[in-house]
Each structure stands twice: as structure tokens, then as C-alpha cells.
Structure 1
Amino acid sequence: MLKLTKIVFLLLSISIFAQGPWTQEKGKFYTQLSFTTIANYDNFFGDPDYAINGEISDNTLQFYTEYGLTNNTTLIVNAPLKLISINNLKYLDPAIDCFGDCSQTINETKTALGNIEINLKHNFYKKDWLLSGQFSLETNTSTFYKNSGIRTSYDAFTLTPLFLAGKSFTNSYLQSFIGAKIRTNNYSNNFKIGGEYGKKLGNKFWLIGFLDIEKSFKDGDINLPDKNLVTSLYVNDQEYGVVGVKAIREFTKDFGVTASLPAAFFGNNVAKQVALTVGVYKKF
């Protein structure tokens, strides 16, 4: 019975967090459709913090799937569709000399792909602790709209190697990760670390606390358009530290819903606003 409980837990943990060490069984699929919203923000973390004269809403509809190539190796694909709107943003072009109020007001909504991500995860140790490695390639499939400064992801390819570790208990689990994000096109590279602890409450509900930190090495000097710098959408040297809660409610063994609510305790060039995510998943 204890062994069965652990197996069920391992499957649940995959649906909550893609950076766990657990892999899918050979020939099995896990799919999830989620929606993330960062709504109506105008303040940003920085040194010092700063604000814009207007509001941005950054929403993401995301399709995520895992497939077990073998019992120890999983293929992961993540495809985000970005829905970004800018409302009443005042912008003054620094290249224009003028007298009086020469600012323009930007109101624009765009829907386009972000950067599609392809991952391979391999479990190389499976005893008391699970130890795995993961390597992802984030392709440059995003779009930049020069008239508004909307960017739907980084103008770069991103390579992300991760080391993953996790351990399950009777009705809880612990997992962690450490790695880096290596970007092309003169973006800075990032160090990445974090983890989470999950506890089962009742028969079909899990509550999870998590920590996720990214720190920029500040080793890139990409020259981005001024409007992009004003919106701070996928600009250079973005970094953050967040803590938050996640939850999963399973209705059947193959179907359920997830939710997460992170809050940042530090950051740079990222919104000072919580991001709410809700999703639905299905296993095949």
C-alpha cells in the first residue's frame, strides 16, 4: 500500500511542477492547458524600483505535454500563446526634439506565440532519492511589435541545463533543482535554483509551497529598442525570487485541475504584481 501511495504521488507531482525529477512511463502522455495572468500592472522591481505612466496586462495560454520515450527518459514540449495589452501608456520618443507635450499614448493588444520550449529529462538514479538531469531548448519563436514595445518573449534561443532531486514520503514529497539559463543574442545568462514541498490533505487534494530564484550574471549587453525598455517585456537582466503556493485537485486518476499563486520578494525589470495560474490536466 505504501508503494502504491508513492507511485500515485509521483504522478501527481509531475502535474504540479515540470522541474521535478520524476519521469513518465514509456508510452504515457501527460497534457495540461493553463492560463496565467499578470493583470493591470504599472510598477516594476529595479534598482531603484520604477513605474510607467500606463498599464500592462500580460496573459499566457499555455499548452504543456510530456511523453515517456522510455521509463527513464521523458520528452517535454511547452507552447505558450501570449495575450498582451498596453493601456494609456505615455511615451516620449527621446530622439525627437520638441516643445510642450510631445508624448504619444499607446493602446494596443497583441496575441502571438512566445518561445516554444522542447525538453529532455532523464532519470539516472532511482533509490531512496530520485536524481535526474534535464536539458531544454527554448526556440526563438516570439514577436516584437515596434510601434507599441510589446514583446512576447526573449529575442534569443535559451539553453537550460538542470540537475533535479526529489524524495517521496507516505503523503508528502520534497524536490529541488539547480541550473542555468544560457541565452544567445547578447542577453545575460541566469543562475536558477529552487524547490518545493507538497503535502496531501484528504484523499484528492495536494497543497504545495515553493521557492523559485533566478539571478542574472549580468554578462550581456543587448541593445533593445527604447519602447521595449519602457514596457520591460522580456528585457535584459530580468531576475526574481518568488515564494508561493500551488494546489492540485484530482477528480479521477487521469483528470484534475491545478492552481498556483506566487509572490516576489525581490526582482529586477519584472512586474511588482502576483501572477495567478489555473490549469486543467489529462493523462493518457
Structure 2
Amino acid sequence: MMLTQKGSLVRILGIGLSFLFSCNAGFAQSGWTKEKGEGFYQLSFNRFSSSYYFTLGGEKLSTNTFTQNSLVFYGEYGLTERFTLIANWPLQIWNGFNTTETVSGLGDLRLEFKHTLLKKYLPLAISVAPEIPIGRANNFAQSTQNDFESINLPSGDGEFNVWTTLSTSFALPNTPLYGSIFGSYNFRTSYEDVSFSDQIAIGLEVGYQIAGKVWVNGRLQGLNSVDDVLVATDFVRGDGTEYTGYSFGASVPVYQDFHLSLNYRNYADFLYSRRNLYSAGTFSIGIYYQVKPKSNE
């Protein structure tokens, strides 16, 4: 596919695409759960575009430009005082290179079941999040240069996997400042008889409220493979992907319980070096709505 000088690399470079839409939602983990009946619902639009790919060995290559846009729903709902249900679902993902048509499809659904272990003094929670492969695992984009060429740009990775996360948080009593840290383990399975390495993720977040209205936050996350992946055994499933991600976000109230959110995310090498992914900034804009629990009075 893409037999131009740069485009001839695309068969190799497509391997990292699945992690763009599985990780770029950017929702950090925390030790808090929702109160019973409390809800948080967000719809966001994300845009990513890059012509720089980092190989399994960490080599930086220049390729045709890959662009991904996505419309993502994220929601949290307090089922009980100690149990929260979370959904993260790309409702539509648009993928394409500058030398192909753009193809789109539904993304994989991630359902997270979060339980409070400690709540009062040091919030501590554990969550289990199966990722259900309901997206298009095979979605071929036709070349705009050669009619007989195409490339697989899926909107789902075709693989069932489960994230298990332990997270803790703190909030200062007289200052609108909070922080969270977490560690996650991703148990991966396989797609079409190709098995993938499990992964470990770590991260932290710090947030502060300005003038009692605008929340700002900074996040740092790292992803590392459990096994050494030396050969790209599959085309678009992200096996061996590693990175350090950082992001900055802000949210501001716009009307009653509706808020506008903005976020910028990018990659670096200071925790884990970039491997097997396209690297550039992702810009996100969203609107979220908060449902407060009903009063017991």
C-alpha cells in the first residue's frame, strides 16, 4: 500500500493505530467514586494528525500523514455509595492517510466497574474494565493514488482485554487542590490467533480551581509492555506500544450544570520511550453535564 517513497512504509506503520483511539480519551483514574444517583456525562470531539511514527525499536520515521477524528461518550454513574459504573465509548472514529480515503466506524466499548476500598480519609478504589470489541476490526481505506491498493484502518482492535486499576486521591480541606495517582494492568488476549503482550500503565493528575469556577489540571501517564515485543506480528493492534503521555486541561461552567472542557495531549520519552505509535498532539473539546444526587431530606 502507498508505493511512494514515504508511503511504502505504511504497511509497517499501521501497527500503532489502535492505541490512538483507546488511550487518547485522556480520562484519568482517581480514588473517588460517585455518590448514589450522582452522574457525570461528557461528549467530546478529538482530533489527531501526525506524519511521525516511532518503530518498535524507537526509531523515528517520517511517513504519509495519518489523521484521526473521534466523537467519544464518557459517563459515570453512582449505583451505590461505594460502587460506580463507568462507560467510555467512541461513537464514531474517522481514520485516513493523506494518500487514502477516510473510513469510519463505531469504536470498542469500555465498561468499568469501580469499587471504593477506602473512602473517608484516603480515597482508594479498585476497578475492573473489560473492553468489548464491538468496533470494526477490519475497515479498509482505498488508496487515492492507486486503485488496486488499500490499507486496514480499523475503528476497533478486535481483541477482548481487561484493565484492572488501583487508584488513590487526596483533596486539601481549605484549598481547591486535588491530586490522584494510579497503576493499571491490561490483560490482553488475541485477534485472529495472534497473541499480544500484557501492559502496565501508571499515571498521576493534579488539579486546581481558579476563582471558584475554572478547573485546570495536568496529567502524566506512562504505558509499558510486559513482554519484549521484537517483531511486529500484526497489522493494527498496537502490540509493543509504549509511551509517556502528558496533557493539560481546563473546564468552565457555561449554563447551570453544563460545562465546557478543553484538553491537549502529547507524547514524550521521559518515563517510557515512544515505540510503535504515531506521535503528535491531540486536541479535544467537549461538553459535560453533572447530575447531583437527590437530597435525603
Same fold? TM cut 0.5: yes
The equivalent of 1:195 in structure 2 is: 204
Rounded to whole Å, the distance in 1 between the matches of 2:153 and 2:176 is 44
Structure 1 residues 124 and 19 mapped into 2: Cα distance closer, same or farther (>3 Å)?
same
Among 100, 114, 121, which residue is 2:114 paired with?
121
CA-to-partner distance for each residue in 1:145-191, whole Å, 9 max, x for gaps?
24322122322111000001000112100111002111110111111
Q: Does 1:270 align with 2:259?
A: no
What's the counterpart of residue 9 of structure 2?
Answer: none
Match of 2:68 among 35, 58, 63: 58
SS in 1 for 2:151: coil
Does residue 1:154 correspond to 2:157, yes or no? Answer: yes
Structure 2 Cα separation of the partners of residues 18 and 24 of structure 1: 15
- Asked if structure 2 preserves the Cα contact closer than 8 Å seen for 1:108 and 1:148, the reply is no
Q: For structure 2, list consecutive stretches of 5 or more residues without a partner in the other structure.
A: 1-25, 141-149, 292-297
Q: What stretches of structure 1 of length at least 5 have no aligned partner?
A: 1-15, 89-106
TM-score, length-scaled by structure 1: 0.80
Choose from 240, 243, 249 the match for 1:237. 240
Structure 2: distance between partners of 1:253 and 1:219: 50
Question: What count of residue pairs does the alignment treat as equivalent?
Answer: 243
What is the root-mean-square deviation of aligned Cα atoms in Å?
Answer: 1.9
1:32 aligns with 2:37: no
Of residues 130, 139, 157, the one that matches 1:137 is 130
Kept in 2, the 8 Å contact 1:204–1:251? The answer is no
Q: Is the 8 A contact 2:261 2:285 kept in 1?
A: yes
* CA displacement at 1:252 relative to structure 2: 4.6
Report the CA distance between 1:234 and its aligned residue: 3.7
SS of 1:154's equivalent in the other structure is coil
The yes-or-no answer on 1:279 pairing with 2:286 is: yes
| Cα pair 1:30 1:66 within 8 Å, conserved | yes
Q: Give the match's secondary structure for 1:108.
A: coil
Q: Does the aligned pair in 2 maintain the 1:152–1:234 contact within 8 Å?
A: no
Aligned residue among 68, 92, 95 for 2:78: 68
The whole-number CA distance in structure 1 between the counterparts of 2:32 and 2:254 is 22
Secondary structure of the corresponding residue to residue 101 of structure 2: strand
Query: Could you tell me how far 1:244 is from its partner in structure 2?
Result: 2.2
What is the match of residue 175 of structure 1? 180
Q: Percent identity?
A: 26
